Structure 1
Amino acid sequence: MATPVNQRVKKRRDVLRAAGFRPVQICMPDTRRPDFAEECRRQSQNVAAADAADRYLDAFMDVALS
């Protein structure tokens, strides 16, 4: 008889914990949503506008690169 899923998951997590890991839950945007691409575009435009308005950014990036 197969082991129930929750027991297999618990066993796997116990092995990972014993190896020094801990489980972390991460929430990600749903890329399948119809408005996902438009929201990415909107946020990218906001970042680009903020970068363009920052007159010290290019100098900072040059120093960081060197």
Structure 2
Amino acid sequence: MPTPVNQRVQKRRENLRAAGLRPLQIWVPDTRRPGFAEECRRQALLVAKADAADRDLQHFMDAAIADLDSDSE
């Protein structure tokens, strides 16, 4: 008879702890929630507007891209 799932899970957790790891619970946004995509779009537009108004950022990004291009040659 196969080992019950809870025993396999417990053994796996014990092995991970023995390897110096610990369990961690992480809460993340629910991408299935109604309105999630619209809120992402709204925030992205706000960031894009702020970035477009920031000349220093644009110069920095242009210099970074030019630096990447020169590294690939």
TM norm structure 1: 0.70
Q: CA RMSD in A?
A: 2.1
Q: Per the alignment, do residues 18 and 44 of structure 1 end up closer, same or farther by CA in structure 2, a change over 3 Å counting? A: same
Q: Per the alignment, do residues 22 and 60 of structure 1 end up closer, same or farther by CA in structure 2, a change over 3 Å counting? A: farther
| CA offsets 1:29-63 (integer angstroms, 9 cap, x no match) | 11111111111111111111111111111221233
Deviation of the 1:28 alpha carbon: 1.1
Distance (Å, rounded) in 2 between the aligned partners of 1:23 and 1:59: 43
Deviation of the 1:4 alpha carbon: 5.9
Question: What's the % identity of the aligned pairs?
Answer: 66
Question: How many correspondences in the alignment?
Answer: 65
Paired letter, 2:13: R
- Could you list the structure 1 runs, at least 4 aligned residues long, displaced by more than 4 angstroms after superposition: none
Distance (Å, rounded) in 2 between the aligned partners of 1:47 and 1:53: 10
Aligned to 1:3: 4
Distance (Å, rounded) in 2 between the aligned partners of 1:14 and 1:64: 46
Aligned to 1:51: 51
Please list every run of 5 or more consecutive structure 2 residues that lacks an aligned counterpart in the other structure.
68-73
**Equivalent residues in 2 for 1:2-41, closer than 5 Å:** 2-3=3-4, 5=6, 7-41=7-41
Name the structure with the higher helix share.
2
> Which structure's CA Rg is the greater one?
2
